[in-house]
Amino acid sequence: MKRTDHVREIRLAARKAQLELRLIREGAEHEIWLCGDVQIAIPRHRELTPGVVGNNRHKLIVVLGDDWWRK
């Protein structure tokens, strides 16, 4: 999955849940994002591995609900 698509999918789900997705800081290799009370790290690569995408989706279940990425 492309990094921009992953950020877009999280931003849309956060907006539906009336939460804000904020970029906290940018590093050389990762960006740190905050959605509600959950922090996630997104690598600064064009393509993300399925493991990274799945890990971020799993972390965001707490604030966005079960199967939020399928809605």
What is the reported pTM? 0.93
Give all domains of the chain, ordered by start, each with its CATH number.
Answer: 3-70 (3.30.920)
Confidence of residue 62 (pLDDT cuts 50, 70, 90): very high
pLDDT at residue number 44: 95
Confidence of residue 28 (pLDDT cuts 50, 70, 90): very high
35 with 63: CB under 8 angstroms? yes
18 with 60: CB under 8 angstroms? no
- The Cα–Cα gap between 46 and 37 comes to 26
The values of phi and psi at residue 25, to 5°, are -155, 160
